[in-house]
Structure 1
């Protein structure tokens, strides 16, 4: 059986894999957006809170950028890995990507809560 024929047998699984990948891409973009929105709100508020607040928001922006890039790379790797496993009929669900995103979101939420409740 050729590679093309093998992939056509599992078309529904491949389509689901592509939809999942696009959902992870949207999550990556949203993670990036959180940092830029927080930075925009802070630096465009018109008032200077403190040097610590500026440092924290810059850290949130950098972290969200790094997390977004990491999520993009990890989800792309996961997409191709899942594609290969579907074709070889060895696919097992993975929880590593979900835990990775959970940790990123918890850290971002924690930093933003610290900013809004302790510095502002």
Structure 2
């Protein structure tokens, strides 16, 4: 256990601050993913509204998957924020007890899901062209 000799506390304030910065970075990532999902959903609606405003039917090659993809992205952003909070609390407890064990589970899962959704988006865009 790494103790600060001066105050006899199990962790340094820098450890706690680093944990908070990491949590806030994950929150920003989650918000970014949610915003991207919102844009994906609203873009198809925007294209339809432009057609109505111009008085013509805009013929898009989409299969209507943008709403599903967008909703999945928003849900993924929410889950990223939730899991980052749980990771923050777990790390905080470990730092307080002096038994910190690093974990890359959240990073690995989020990377895998983003990679999967990226492939789906690429396939969707190729089919739409």
TM-score exceeds 0.5 = yes
Q: What's 2:66 paired with?
A: 57
Please say if residues 19 and 91 of structure 2, whose CA atoms lie closer than 8 Å, have aligned partners that are also in contact. Answer: yes
Q: Which structure carries more helix by proportion?
A: 1
Q: What's 2:94 paired with?
A: 85
CA shift digits 1:2-44 (9 cap, x unpaired): xxx737x420000000000000000000111121122233331
Q: What's 2:53 paired with?
A: none
Residue 45 (structure 2) pairs with residue 43 (structure 1): yes
Residue 114 (structure 2) pairs with residue 105 (structure 1): yes
The normalised TM-score by structure 1 is 0.83
Residue 24 (structure 2) pairs with residue 12 (structure 1): no
Q: What's 2:23 paired with?
A: 21
The normalised TM-score by structure 2 is 0.78
In structure 2, stretches of 5+ residues that fail to align are 1-7, 51-57
| Greater Rg over alpha carbons, structure | 2
Decide which of 94, 101, 112 is 2:103's aligned counterpart.
94
Aligned Cα RMSD in Å?
A: 1.8
Please say if residues 10 and 87 of structure 1, whose CA atoms lie closer than 8 Å, have aligned partners that are also in contact. Answer: no
